[in-house]
């Protein structure tokens, strides 16, 4: 009979509810993201629809 290791066992039911992911970015990060978004805002506002629709290609593998 093979020994069953702890890693093989499923977590107990009470371990089974991890907190919902917290994804709010910290303030300093938001500032960096904002300055990046400022740089590309025009590109996004301007021609996004046509650009996105134009990107159609056959599938690869």
Partner 1 sequence: MTGQDGIVTRLGAQNSVEAPTRRAGDRLGAFLSALRPQEPTSEAPAGATPEPATPGDRGASAGVVGLETEYGITADGLSADEAAREMFAPVVAWGRSTSVFTPAGARLYLDLGAHPEYATAECSTLAELVAQDRAGDALVAELGRAVDRRRAAAGRPPAQIAVFKNNSDSVGHSFGAHENYQVTREGAAALAAALIPFLVTRQLVAGAGHIEVDQRGARYVLSARAGHVSETMSSASTRARPIINTRDEPHADGQKYRRLHVIVGDSNMSQMATRWKFGATSLVIAAAARGARLPRMELANPVRAISQVSRGWREPSPLELVDGRTARPASIQRAYLEVALEAAETAEDAAVIGLWRKALDAWDLGDFDGLETQLDWLAKLRLIERYQERSGAALEDARVARLALAYHQLGPQGLRGRLEASGMLTRAVSPWDVARAVLEPPPTTRARLRGRFVARARAAGREYSVDWMRLRLGDAPAVTVADPLDSFNAAAEQLIAGLKPASGRRARAVETKAELDKIMDRAADAVLAEGV
7 binds partner 1 (CB under 8 A): yes
Work out whether 45 is an interface residue with partner 1 (CB under 8 A): yes
Is there binding between residue 52 and partner 1 (CB under 8 A)?
yes
Cα dihedral 36, 39, 40, 46 sign: positive
Nearer to partner 1, 1 or 57 (CB): 57
Three-state secondary structure call for residue 11? coil
* Residue 33 Rama label (left phi>0; alpha psi -120 to 50; beta): alpha
Counting contacts by CB under 8 A, is residue 11 touching partner 1? yes
Among 14, 20, 27, 42, binds partner 1 (CB under 8 A): 20
């Amino acid at each position: 009979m093979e020994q069953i290791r702890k890693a093989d066992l499923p977590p107990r039911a009470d371990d089974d509810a991890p907190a919902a992911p917290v994804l709010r970015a910290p303030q300093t990060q938001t500032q960096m993201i904002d300055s990046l978004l400022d740089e590309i805002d025009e590109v996004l506002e301007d021609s996004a629809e046509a650009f996105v629709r134009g990107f159609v290609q056959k599938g690869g593998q």
